[in-house]
Structure 1
Amino acid sequence: MALMGLHTAYGLSRIINARGPYTPLGVSRSGDDVSAAVAESLSEFFVMDELQEAADRALARFTGAEAGTVVHCTASAITLAVAAAMTGESPDRVEALPDTTGMPGAVVLPTGHAVNYGHSIVQAVRLAGAVPVAVGTEAGFTLEDVETGLARPDVACLLLVSSRLVRGASAELADAVAVAHRRGVPVVVDGAAQDFRVGELLATGADLVAISGQKYLGSPTAGLVVGRAGPVAAVRAQERGIGRAMKASKEAVIGVLAALEARQELDMAVWRQQQADKVADFVERAGAVEGVTASSVPDPTGLPFARARLVVDPAVSAMDSAALDEALRAGSPSIWAIPGRRDAEGLLFELVPLTPDEIDAILARLAELLVR
């Protein structure tokens, strides 16, 4: 198996993932230290409560939060954070879900924050038994919209999202959090791909912040929930209820611990420069292909790297951006980029996880497809 390789052994497609930490492509690559720790954990037994306590301490150190816990993934983290807002640590309420009789069951969510990661965050809310209450419009939301939604007597929490998928102009998250807290309503922030910015998200005053372990941290699949000690304890309490189906495995928790250690040892200044150099070189080389306009695009949420945008002129090149995207995926290896919402937006290439050979392969394929 080791000599053959997994793709050959199981008849799997080889891909180059320039789409970022995208779940249908396996999300990310783990570093050697994470892989070794996970492999060792698979042959060992652990007291899972002790593992979670170790994760609690490590997440608190890493983020500056009071507490933290590990669940199956970020989608489940949203469901469990909503559940925690409804039940607290009450065993009776935990056992009752998804029946919310006698509990506050409304979750206020800005319309433009109803993102879809492959399933809608609205469904993640409903899985807990809660009822989503949309405020604002696709064009954005105001603090007055939040006030209106929070005026209901049955509000469990305010749910906000920090993601490049958010639509419309939003009020500042910290201001929305303050509005909720004035009414005594807790706030959950979904920051799935925002581990680099988790400190900023916690600084909004949110009670719970959910981030992904397997995206840029590179752990096995895991959702990390950090924030105030009481709400985090309420999330952990869900393991005696609906959270049983969303628990973290031993290898996931060990992988998270190893990934946190690796991130803390990372020289961020050096890493940022490496990513900037990757994008600058890619933009220069791709822009040399006739008919291609290449540029560097900062992450819209403030993550510490840019992506390369390529816009193709179909009057000059052999195809437009949509056709190029399809042709890249149809080749071998299959190359996946981030498609724009309109053809004029072109394609985005996230280079963070890619090797120099993979970047060279993308550029070679671009020239092959676009040069008439």
Structure 2
Amino acid sequence: MNIYERIGLKRVINACGKMTILGVSAVDRTVMDEVAEAASNYVEIDTLIDRVGELISTHTGAEDSCVTSSASAGIAISVAAVISKGDPNLVERLPDSSGLANEVILLKGHSVNYGAPVTTMVRLGGGVPVEVGQANESEAFHVASAITGRTAAILYVKSHHAVQKGMVPLAEMIRIAHEHGLPLIIDAAAEEDLKKYVAAGADLVIYSGAKAIDAPTSGFITGRKALIGACKAQYHGIGRPMKIGKECMLGLVKALDRYAVHKHDGRADIPALEAAIAEVNGIRGLSAELEQDEAGREIYRARVRVHADVLGVDAAAIEAQLRGGSPAIYTRKYYLNAGVFSIDPRPLQGDDLAVIVARLRQLAGACLQENTAKENA
């Protein structure tokens, strides 16, 4: 029985991924020891923010970094930074950015909802989102033609939530931004490569600490020193309600150190996934196959297909029963309309995978039994 079961909540099996709705990550004990020690001592917070920024930058290769409470906060703070440029008067004035260069260009296919709209985070920072192109296709001219004297930055969203095809490549977005003297901000919240986007020339890159890195609730912005200074300045403005505690700052640093040594190897998950896939393929009415992450990350999952013509119910019905049972089993359900859901092995613990397969067998058997009863009635 885990701590949440002890307070009356049901067990949750997370086969969905590093998702905010499920508490994101299971944090390693060594990281939590660092959190506990940091929480029990005092420190000058401004000095800590600067030092943590330096330590984060050793992992990203950037000039400097700004620790945040989350990737969402990082978007709002980054937008406020490029609008205010750290001017104290403007910092205090935001999110009222009237009369300032405040437009933030993003591809329409990147205007995603990850639990909240990314455009809401832009507005919280005082920005005015300007979506360009179409949802399934964008061209460089769409971006360039939207740039005016009111443009503050270009935002690029690197996420599985975003449209993956038909978008302007990142390198082209960076070229356009710099050709027009604009900063390029990347929302890379769940990305696993902490150096790639800084090395590519992005000016500010935003990561979640609690996703790939398995840190406690946290995030960070990494990039050009002048802009990072403007990000830190926002803690005297819109960043104040987004501040992060000293304990989570040091928990993030410890998790980053651990991540550098124990970075998740997606290919190591394949044997267990293939064994589970073989079991699912032996269940009448279901089939499964190995799939790679849709955004190209080195993450592998088991994609389960529900054959509604055999079971008499569709993938949405099976997924709802998985999620509604005890333990509650959460899978990746982005493609239920296509008759499939996926099992992400990264958050699984103990016998979770065996429990999932057993539950699928039970649900499929119950559906088949009900179909037989109807036929015999």
**Amino acid paired to 2:269:** Q
TM-score (norm 2): 0.93
Q: Which residue of 1 aligns with 2:371?
A: none
Asked if 1:67 corresponds to 2:64, the answer is yes
- Partners of 2:357 and 2:19 lie apart in 1 by 21
User: Could you tell me whether the CA contact under 8 Å between 1:320 and 1:343 is conserved in 2?
Assistant: no
Asked if 1:354 corresponds to 2:348, the answer is yes
**Amino acid paired to 1:236:** K
Asked if 1:224 corresponds to 2:230, the answer is no
Q: Which residue of 1 aligns with 2:301?
A: 307
**Amino acid paired to 1:95:** E
Asked if 1:171 corresponds to 2:165, the answer is no
Q: Which residue of 2 aligns with 1:247?
A: 243
Count of matched residue pairs? 365
SS at match of 1:214: coil
Matches within 5 A, 1:132-211: 132-150=129-147, 152-167=148-163, 168-194=165-191, 196-211=192-207
SS at match of 1:116: coil
User: Could you tell me whether the CA contact under 8 Å between 1:34 and 1:258 is conserved in 2?
Assistant: yes
CA deviations 1:246-300 (Å, max 9, x no partner) are 11111210110110111112266xx334222232222222222122221111112
Q: Which residue of 2 aligns with 1:263?
A: 259
**Amino acid paired to 1:295:** E
Compared CA separation, residues 54 and 180, structure 1 to 2 (3 A): same
CA deviations 1:158-178 (Å, max 9, x no partner) are 011001111252111111111
Q: Please point out which of 50, 55, 67 is paired with 2:52.
A: 55
Compared CA separation, residues 285 and 5, structure 1 to 2 (3 A): closer
Q: Which residue of 2 aligns with 1:96?
A: 93
CA deviations 1:10-41 (Å, max 9, x no partner) are 22221101111111111110011111111222
SS at match of 2:278: helix
RMSD: 1.6
CA deviations 1:128-183 (Å, max 9, x no partner) are 22211110011121111110111x11100001100111125211111111111100
Unpaired segments ≥5 residues, structure 1 = none
Deviates more, 1:128-137 or 1:310-319: 310-319
CA drift of 1:342 comes to 4.3
- Partners of 1:99 and 1:343 lie apart in 2 by 41
User: Could you tell me whether the CA contact under 8 Å between 2:106 and 2:154 is conserved in 1?
Assistant: yes
- Partners of 2:354 and 2:5 lie apart in 1 by 23
CA drift of 1:204 comes to 2.9
Unpaired segments ≥5 residues, structure 2 = 369-377
Deviates more, 1:302-311 or 1:235-244: 302-311
CA deviations 1:179-211 (Å, max 9, x no partner) are 1110001110101111x1232222331100101
Q: Please point out which of 125, 146, 169 is paired with 1:128.
A: 125
CA drift of 1:318 comes to 5.2
- Partners of 1:174 and 1:348 lie apart in 2 by 31
Q: Which residue of 2 aligns with 1:369?
A: 363
- Partners of 2:34 and 2:356 lie apart in 1 by 32
Compared CA separation, residues 10 and 116, structure 1 to 2 (3 A): same
**Amino acid paired to 1:141:** S
User: Could you tell me whether the CA contact under 8 Å between 2:280 and 2:357 is conserved in 1?
Assistant: yes
User: Could you tell me whether the CA contact under 8 Å between 1:115 and 1:166 is conserved in 2?
Assistant: yes
User: Could you tell me whether the CA contact under 8 Å between 1:29 and 1:218 is conserved in 2?
Assistant: yes
Identity of aligned residues (%): 33
User: Could you tell me whether the CA contact under 8 Å between 1:109 and 1:159 is conserved in 2?
Assistant: yes
User: Could you tell me whether the CA contact under 8 Å between 2:289 and 2:303 is conserved in 1?
Assistant: yes
- Partners of 1:290 and 1:182 lie apart in 2 by 58
User: Could you tell me whether the CA contact under 8 Å between 1:158 and 1:185 is conserved in 2?
Assistant: yes
SS at match of 2:166: coil
Q: Which residue of 2 aligns with 1:44?
A: 41
Compared CA separation, residues 281 and 53, structure 1 to 2 (3 A): farther
User: Could you tell me whether the CA contact under 8 Å between 2:5 and 2:11 is conserved in 1?
Assistant: no
User: Could you tell me whether the CA contact under 8 Å between 2:306 and 2:339 is conserved in 1?
Assistant: no
User: Could you tell me whether the CA contact under 8 Å between 1:69 and 1:224 is conserved in 2?
Assistant: yes
User: Could you tell me whether the CA contact under 8 Å between 1:319 and 1:370 is conserved in 2?
Assistant: no
CA drift of 1:218 comes to 1.0
**Amino acid paired to 2:77:** L
